[in-house]
Amino acid sequence: MKNIRIAWAGLIAVLSLLWWMADPLLPQGYEYFALRTVVINYTGIIGIGVMSVGMMLALRSVRLEPLLGGMDKAYRLHKWLGITGLVVSIIHWVWAQGTKWAVGWGWLAKPARGPHVEETVPILRFFQQQRGLAETIGEWAFYAAVVLIVLALVKRFPYRHFFRTHRLLAIVYLFLVFHSVVLVPPGYWGQPLGPVMALLMAGGSVGAVASLLRKVGYRRKAVGVIDELTHFKDNRVLKVGVQFKDRWPGHDAGQFAFITFDPHEGAHPFTISSGWQGDGRLFFLIKGIGDYTDRLPELLRVGDVVTVEGPYGRFAFGGGKSRQIWVAGGIGITPFIARMKALAVEPDGREVDLLYSTSAPDENFIARLRRDAEAAKVRLHVLVAAREGRLDVARICKTVPEWASADIWFCGPGGFGQALREGFTAKGLSPGDFHQELFAMR
Nearest residue to 437 via CA among 330, 294, 322 = 330
Q: Are 201 and 226 in contact (CB under 8 A)?
A: no
Nearest residue to 81 via CA among 207, 213, 210 = 207
CA distances in angstroms from 422 to 93, 223, 393, 397, listed in the order given: 38, 42, 9, 14
Residues in contact with 114: Cβ distance below 8 Å, sequence separation at least 6, in sequence order: none
DSSP H or E run through 428: none
Phi, psi at 229, each rounded to 5°: -135, 120
DSSP H or E run through 16: helix 2-22
Query: Which residue ranges form the domains of the chain, and what is each CATH number?
Result: 2-212 (1.20.120), 219-312 (2.40.30.10), 323-436 (3.40.50.80)
- Whether the model clears a pTM of 0.75, i.e. scores above it, the answer is yes
Beta strand ranges found along 206-262 (DSSP E): 221-232, 237-244, 256-260
pLDDT score of 170: 96
Characterise 108 by phi-psi region: left (phi > 0), alpha (psi -120 to 50), beta (else): beta
CA distances in angstroms from 150 to 162, 167, 177, 335, listed in the order given: 11, 14, 20, 31
Longest dimension (CA), the chain: 83
Q: Are 313 and 256 in contact (CB under 8 A)?
A: yes
pLDDT score of 440: 66
Residues in contact with 83: Cβ distance below 8 Å, sequence separation at least 6, in sequence order: 149, 153
Considering only CA atoms, give the Rg of the chain: 26
List the helix and strand counts (H, then E) for the chain.
14, 11
β-pairing verdict for 256-260 and 237-244: unpaired
pLDDT score of 273: 93
Mean pLDDT per block of 10 residues along the chain (442 residues) reads 89 96 71 87 97 96 90 92 96 92 84 66 75 93 95 85 90 97 92 97 97 92 96 91 93 93 90 90 89 90 96 88 94 94 92 92 90 96 86 94 95 91 94 84 61
Residues in contact with 291: Cβ distance below 8 Å, sequence separation at least 6, in sequence order: 158
pLDDT score of 362: 84
Environment class of residue 243 by beta-carbon count within 10 Å: exposed (0-12), middle (13-18) or buried (19+)? middle
Q: In what order do the strands lie in the sheet with 281-287?
A: 268-271, 256-260, 305-312, 221-232, 237-244, 281-287
DSSP string, 266-321: --EEEEB-S---SSSEEEEEEE--SHHHHHHHHH--TT-EEEEEEEE-------S-
pLDDT score of 30: 60
Q: How far apart, in whole angstroms, are the C-alpha atoms of residue 198 and residue 200?
A: 6
Q: Are 346 and 275 in contact (CB under 8 A)?
A: no
Q: How far apart, in whole angstroms, are the C-alpha atoms of residue 190 and residue 187?
A: 6
